Amino acid sequence: MSAAEAAAAPRRVVLTGCGALSSVGNGVAEFTAALRAGRVGTGPITVFDTTGFPSGRGHQVHGFDAAARLHRVRPEHTGRATQFAAAAARMALDDAGLDEAWLRERRGTVVVGTTDGEVGELDLLTESALTIGLGAFTGAALGGTATGSLALGVVRELALTNVESSTIATACAAGNYAIGAGFDAVRNGRAEWALVGGADALNRKTFAGFARLGLIAPDECRPFDADRVGLLTGEGAGLLLLETEESALARGAHIYAEVLGYGLNCDAAHPTAPEENSVARCIRLALENASVKPEEVDLISAHGTGTPTNDTTEIAAIRQVYGDEAPRTVGIKAMIGHTMGAASALGAIASALAIRHGFIPPTANHRSTDPECAVDVVPNESVPADVRIVQNNGLAFGGNNAVVLLGRHEDRGHEDRGHEDRGHEDRGHRSRGHESRAHQGHGNESPRGEYVR
Amino acid sequence: MSTAVITAWSAVSPYGTGRAPLAAGLRGRVAPPESAGPEEWTAQPDATARLVPGFEVREALGKAGTRGMDRLTGLTAVTVRELLTHETAALPEGDLGTGVVLGTAAGSAQGFMEFTKASLEGDRPIDVMPSKVPNMAMNRAASASAIRHALKGPNTTVAAGRLSGLIALDQAVRLLAEGRAERVVAGSAEEYSAIRAHLTHAAHGDALVLGEGCVMVLLEPGDTATGRPLAEVLAVHHRVAPQGEFTEVLTAAVRTALAQAGVEAESVWAAVPGEAPGVAGAQERQVHEDLFGPQVRSRAASVALLGETAAATGAYQLAALLSEPGAPGRIALVTATDPDGPVGCAVLRLMTDGEST
Amino acid sequence: MTVNTPVDVSAVRAIIIDILELEDDELTNTSLFIEDHGADSLGAIEILSRIEKELGVVLPQDDLVKLIHLDAVLEVLATAERRQP
């Protein structure tokens, strides 16, 4: 960055386009309808052979016709995660009412978060190397298995060149990391637009790892439920088109939400288990960066994996910041599974949809809230609500935390975002519904609790 | 607003562990020796590479918390240890903490494929190695380094092929500019493995000798730096040449970076290319010939000495500049190209005479 | 079906000693893996996994939490199911 760039005042950053691929629907319209309906996308995994695994269930993307979705990226030469990223980017562009030419005329940034990158391609390479030996390694395999190919796939699909491109591999918090990077770039004038988010594809390697840890639920993922036993792996992509408020207003774009700020930190404690105080610190960093007070937050889109310890630790951290008046806190992984690097990007899109359409997506598959997760999880059915500010959590293996704050865009200038007079009527609704639900004893302390993300 | 300054650096390289062996090797323009690759299930017995001599993760780091740790993580963690224990005074840990930004190409491809192989060949598909599970997250190297040194700031793993080191530097500078970290440990790393050798040789020919290692620098805001500034990061700019038009796009990137840094091409004292294999590297060298005289182009060591170091290359280029003596205040530049399209340029002002480093 | 043959104590000891990286005399029947030997939770999973593989049994994942010392491992093993061939 140059001194000239740095001298410019920070700009407001808004979200004007969303692209989503998930087990409950492709495209923002299907995704919205599914969230509203509380639809659950669990089914048998078919992208790799699940024979012999304790369970073969997960959240697979269906009806994805790569050749139809992609104009330039050739599906036959491209890994599944890169296809997802490129297709979701094109969806976000269309959704924003923009075209490639608009992007090309301006400096932009493309940042795609991922857990596994193209590990699915490495799985296939392993299989063929075991069968045919070293002949399996072709000249295209180096680039095709490189993690950076996800962001490059977006760049190629849209034929961009004056663009920064990077893939962020900060595991399951990567989507929020990417959104943060795009936010900073647009906010400070290093880019006029950002295509950011996350993508991952189901693969044997990660499935086997979670299964070995005993973290995979046998039937459904039940975040915050007293009887939750684990996660379900999923796949998909969420890409967001960010631009300046000035640009969006000038072209009359429909603004989903304003990106208010974010926080990043690292537990620096344990490779796989989360740390309550550190997660709470990350939430506070995000609130501070966004200039949002805890009482102004209407909804938390939780990381909520459905593993015993993630959920307990995450809720404890939320309660540390918010006290007994924690906002409604939902786990959309019950519906779409744990989409890894895409998870917090899809969470951000769900947050934006909640703001735009005035509803709170539910925590599906819910039976009875764990007393250790004492928040209103909005069980099973979405509810209409005046949602103005949403906190979107992403927590990863390695203790990598990332929290993004989105708010309804209110065109009131820079001094006052208009928080003061906000929705007290809604506050009264903040039901403590779980309190009235009977709680089953949950004496069985599972060791799986340690592995949470 | 102040820019970011590099106040310390260290490395684990084919010259050995720590900054001094790498600095001496680069300054002397001596290539490190080639040695046989480690024994792995896909290894070819006659493969050689420029390896970190005798590097074994658990010997280098001790047994605590290192069971199953992959080589990439080990190389990174040792580099961070060398940086924070030998090159810097104790760092006060404020509210924001110390961040880590690490560039990688694809994590440990060898580790991922071995894990999948165990799943495919085991009696049951879950018969994989539990101690290897933490490696399965590509952020292991960055997060393990944070765990070992209680670095609680942002912890980013960035993947951009041979641009990874340059983009890690950029991300680190931005975290500081945004006030998201008090200081950042940034760099990039690459491990040698049989899998990486096969992938690289299939793409670029069997003659290519692979290298490995890690270089990490400590970045601090210029106005609050506690260490002695070695270099100031003036600008980083990167783009993509999706059709392989590296000359044109890299030239634009270099000119933009120089403009952002506020310096003329004529005032560049040293320019270090990334030496990518194939046409990307050839066009990159052409850009350097077009923009810079022979003295400027030969002033610092070429990273080709280290072999093909892929994601680690950008960080090695910084090491080449930081190792080269000269008058304080000299302007230096690195460029990077990746055969898959990304190109970029970083411009620095070297602030010491380089002798003591 | 449960294991009727006696549990191979020395094989179990060897696995634990290897995974926790102990000297033979450090491991007693009741020395605690986590508190006394510095194991973490992945260590318990590794012990379970290796025992399953090397002794040809299946241990319920829920038993992981019980694997706190050697005697506890032997007790869990005594009721373990043989793997399907």
Cα end-to-end span (Å), chain C:
13
Q: What is the dihedral of CA C45, C51, C56, C59, to 10 degrees?
A: -50
Those residues with Cβ within 8 angstroms of residue A49's Cβ, 6 or more apart along the chain or in another chain: A204
pLDDT at C5: 60
Tell me which chain A residues have a C-beta less than 8 angstroms from the C-beta of C62: 444, 446
Contact at CB, C42 and B134, closer than 8 angstroms? yes
**Choice among A59, A338, A409, A434 that is catalytic:** A338
Question: Is the Cβ pair A446, C49 closer than 8 Å?
Answer: no
Does residue B80 share a domain with residue B173? yes
Question: Quick one: pLDDT band at residue B356, thresholds 50, 70, 90?
Answer: low
Residue A191 is predicted with a pLDDT of 98
A133 in the Ramachandran plot: left (φ > 0), alpha (ψ -120 to 50) or beta?
left
Range of the domain at B270: 231-350
Number of domains present in the structure of chain B: 2
Mark whether B199 and B136 lie in a shared domain. yes
C-alpha B231/C-alpha A111 separation (Å) is 28
What is the residue whose two structure tokens read 């989503």?
A20
Judging contacts by C-beta atoms under 8 Å, the chain A residues touching residue C45 are 212-214
- List the subunits that have 3+ CB pairs under 8 angstroms with B: A, C
- Known catalytic residue: A338? yes
Beta carbons of A61 and A235 less than 8 angstroms apart: yes
Of B221, B239, B260, which closes a domain? B221
CA distances from B117 to B123, B341, C52 (A): 12, 31, 18
Q: Which of A138, A209, A400 sits opposite B143 (nearest CB)?
A: A400
Return contacts of C4-10, CB within 8 angstroms, 24+ apart. C7/C74, C7/C77, C7/C78, C8/C55, C9/C74
Torsion of CA B76, B82, B83, B85, to 10 degrees: 130
Mean pLDDT over B252-281 rounds to 97
Q: What b/e sequence results for A370-394 when a residue is b if at least 16 CB atoms lie within 10 Å of its CB, and e otherwise? A: bebbbbbbbbeebeebebbbbbbbb
Contact yes or no for B112 and A119 at CB 8 A: yes
- DSSP, res A309: H
Q: Which residues of A touch B236 (CB under 8 A)?
A: 1
Q: Across the interface, which of B138, B199, B252 has its CB nearest the CB of A147?
A: B138
Based on the fold, state whether residues B177 and B321 are members of the same structural domain. no
Q: What is the pLDDT of residue B2?
A: 58
CATH of the domain at B113: 3.40.47.10
Contacts of A191 (CB under 8 A, 6+ apart): A106, A107, A108, A109, A164, A182, A185
- Scanning every residue of chain A, which has its alpha carbon at the shortest distance from the alpha carbon of C52? A212
Confidence of residue B42 (pLDDT cuts 50, 70, 90): confident
pLDDT of residue C53: 87
Task: Quote the tokens at residue A415.
Answer: 């001094």
Query: How far is CA B109 from its chain centroid?
Result: 17
Q: Is C65 on the interface with A (CB under 8 A)?
A: yes
pLDDT per residue over B114-125, tens digit each?
999 999 999 999
User: Is residue B193 situated within a structural domain?
Assistant: yes
Is the Cβ of C76 closer than 8 Å to some Cβ of chain A?
A: no
Q: Residue C70 domain-assigned?
A: yes
Beta strands (DSSP E) in A169-298 are: 193-200, 236-244, 257-266
Distance of CA A18 to the CA centre of its chain: 12
Number of residues assigned to chain B: 357
Pick from B22, B38, B20, B19: which is nearest to B30 by CA? B22
What mean pLDDT, rounded, does chain A reach? 90
Dihedrals φ, ψ of B33, to 5°?
-70, 155
Residues B201 and B270 grouped into a single domain: no
Q: Phi then psi for C47, rounded to 5 degrees?
A: -65, -50
Distances from the Cα of A173 to the Cα of B116, B138, B283, angstroms: 23, 12, 37
Optimal mutation site among B57, B61, B67, B136, interface C, most CBs of chain C within 10 A: B67
CATH number where C41 lies: 1.10.1200.10
Q: Please tell me chain B's helix, strand, coil percentages from 3-state DSSP, rounded to the nearest 5.
A: 40, 25, 35
Q: What is the spatial distance between Cα A125 and Cα A138, in angstroms, rounded to a whole number?
A: 10
Looking at the domain assignment, is residue B355 inside a domain?
Answer: no
Supply A413's token pair: 């200038």
Provide the Cα torsion B324, B326, B328, B332; round to 10°.
-60
Q: Can you state the percent helix, strand and coil of chain A, rounding each to 5?
A: 40, 20, 40
Provide mean pLDDT across the span A346-353: 98
- Poorest-pLDDT segment among A90-94, A123-127, B214-218, C22-26: C22-26
The two three-digit tokens of residue B13, written as one number: 């390289």
Residue B91 has a pLDDT of: 72
Run of H or E residues at A401: strand A400-407
Query: Which among C38, C42, C83 has the least Cβ separation from residue B130?
Result: C42
Question: Region B23-30: what's the mean pLDDT?
Answer: 97
Domain membership of residue C25 (yes or no) is yes
Which contiguous run of DSSP H or E holds residue A19?
strand A13-22
Nearest chain A residue to C61 by CA: give it: A214
Strands A163-168 and B155-159: antiparallel
Its sign, for the CA torsion A169, A175, A179, A182, is: positive
Do residue B210 and residue B237 come from a single domain? no
C36 in a domain, yes or no?
A: yes
Write down the ipTM of this complex.
0.97
Answer whether B127 sits within 8 Å of C38, measured CB to CB. Answer: no
Question: What local confidence, expressed as pLDDT, does residue A435 receive?
Answer: 32
**Hey, what amino acid is at B3?**
T
Superfamily of domain A12-410: Thiolase/Chalcone synthase (3.40.47.10)
- What are phi and psi for residue B212, nearest 5 degrees? -150, 180
CA-based nearest residue in chain B for residue C56: B123
Domain boundaries, chain A: 12-410
Sorted by sequence, the CB contacts under 8 Å of residue A429 that are 6+ apart come out as A385
Does the beta-carbon distance from C64 to A447 stay under 8 Å?
Answer: yes
What is the rounded average pLDDT of the residues A28-56? 97
Cβ pair A116, B111 in contact under 8 A: no
Residues of chain B whose beta carbon is less than 8 angstroms from a beta carbon of chain C are 63-64, 67, 122-123, 127, 129-131, 133-134
Q: Tens of pLDDT along B231-243?
A: 999 999 999 998 9
| Structural domains of chain C, count | 1
- Say if residue B283 is in the same domain as residue B316: yes
Tell me, yes or no, whether B25 and B113 share the same domain.
yes
A2·B260 Cβ contact <8 A: yes
Contact B262 A3 (CB under 8 A): yes
| Closest C-alpha to B130, from A271, C50, C58 | C50
SS3 state of residue A177: helix
The chains found to touch A (3+ Cβ pairs under 8 angstroms) are B, C
**B165 and B47 belong to one structural domain:** yes
Query: A303 an active-site residue?
Result: yes
Query: Which of A154-168, B10-24, B46-60 has the least mean pLDDT?
Result: B46-60
Torsion angle (degrees, nearest 10) of CA A10, A15, A21, A27: -160
Q: Is residue B78 part of a domain?
A: yes
- B68/B165 same-domain check: yes
Judge contact between A54 and A130, C-beta under 8 A: no
Domain boundary among B166, B190, B221: B221
- H/E stretch holding B315 reads helix B313-322
* Dist CA B76 CA B102 (whole Å): 9
Residues of B in contact with C43 (CB under 8 A): 67
Task: Answer yes or no: do C42 and A271 touch at CB < 8 A.
Answer: yes
> Alpha-carbon distance B126 to B117, whole Å?
11
Interface mutation target, options B57, B69, B121, B124, chain C, most CBs of C under 10 Å: B124
Nearest chain B residue to A210 by CA distance is: B133
Q: What is the DSSP letter of A75?
A: G
| Residue A413, pLDDT above cutoff 60 | no
Q: What is the DSSP string of B130-165?
A: GGGGGGGSTTHHHHHHHHHHT--S-EEEEE-GGGHH
- Percentage of chain A surpassing pLDDT 70? 89
Other CB atoms within 10 Å distance of the CB of residue A68: 9
B357: its two tokens: 């480093």
Q: Which of A450, A452, A453 to mutate to test the interface with C (most CBs of C within 10 A)?
A: A450
Q: Mention every residue, 6+ apart, whose C-beta is less than 8 A from residue C58.
A: C52, C80, C81, C82, C83
E strands present in A169-297: 193-200, 236-244, 257-266
Q: How confident is the model at residue C84 (pLDDT cuts 50, 70, 90)?
A: low
Set of chain C residues whose Cβ sits within 8 Å of the Cβ of A271: 42
d(CA B310, CA B312): 5
- Given the residues A18, A59, A172, A366, the one annotated as active site: A172
Query: Is B195 contained in some domain?
Result: yes
Give the DSSP per-residue string, C59-80.
--GGGGGG-SSHHHHHHHHHTP
Interface check for A10 against chain B (CB to CB < 8 A): the answer is no
Q: How far is CA B98 from CA A118, A259, A421, B94, B318, in A?
A: 30, 25, 38, 8, 21
Flag if B149 and A126 touch (Cβ within 8 Å).
no
Chain C: list its partners (3+ Cβ pairs within 8 Å).
A, B
Beta pairing, strands A299-301 & A389-396: parallel
**B130 chain-C contacts, CB cut-off 8 A:** 42, 45-46, 49
Q: Which of A208-212, B42-46, B99-103 has the lowest mean pLDDT?
A: B42-46
Could C42 and B123 be called an inter-chain contact, meaning their C-beta atoms sit closer than 8 Å?
A: no
pLDDT at A109: 98
10 Å Cβ neighbour count for B251? 18
Query: Is pLDDT at B188 greater than 50 in this prediction?
Result: yes
Q: Does C29 touch chain B (CB under 8 A)?
A: no
What would the pLDDT profile of A387-408 be if each residue is shown by its tens digit? 999 999 999 988 999 999 999 9
Q: What's the domain range around C50?
A: 9-82
The phi, psi pair for B5, rounded to 5°, reads -120, 145
CB spacing of B130 vs C45 below 8 angstroms: yes
- Known active-site residue A373: no
Task: Look up residue B113 and give its DSSP letter.
Answer: H
Confidence of residue B38 (pLDDT cuts 50, 70, 90): confident
Give residue A412's pLDDT.
59
Residue B216 shares a structural domain with residue B277: no
Q: What percent of chain A has pLDDT over 90?
A: 86
Identify which of A17, A95, A26 has the alpha carbon closest to the alpha carbon of residue A61. A26
Q: What is the DSSP string of B157-217?
A: EEE-GGGHHHHHHHHHHHHHHTTS-SEEEEEEEE---HHHHHHHHHHH-TTPPEE-EEEEE
What average pLDDT does the segment B137-153 reach? 96
**How far is the C-alpha of C79 from the C-alpha of C85, rounded, in Å?**
18
Chain A contact for B261, CB < 8 A? yes
Q: Provide mean pLDDT across the span A142-170.
A: 97
- Block residue for tokens 């209409």: A384
pTM of the predicted model, to two decimals? 0.93
Interface contact C46-B130, CB threshold 8 A = yes
Instruction: Please give the Cα distance from A305 to A308 (Å, whole number).
Output: 9
- Closest alpha carbon within chain B to A114: B138
How much is the average pLDDT of A93-102? 98
Tell me whether residues C41 and A450 touch, CB distance under 8 A.
Answer: yes
d(CA A140, CA B42): 18
Tens of pLDDT, residue by residue over B294-338, are: 999 999 999 999 999 999 999 999 999 999 999 999 999 999 999
Q: Stretch A187-210: mean pLDDT, rounded?
A: 97
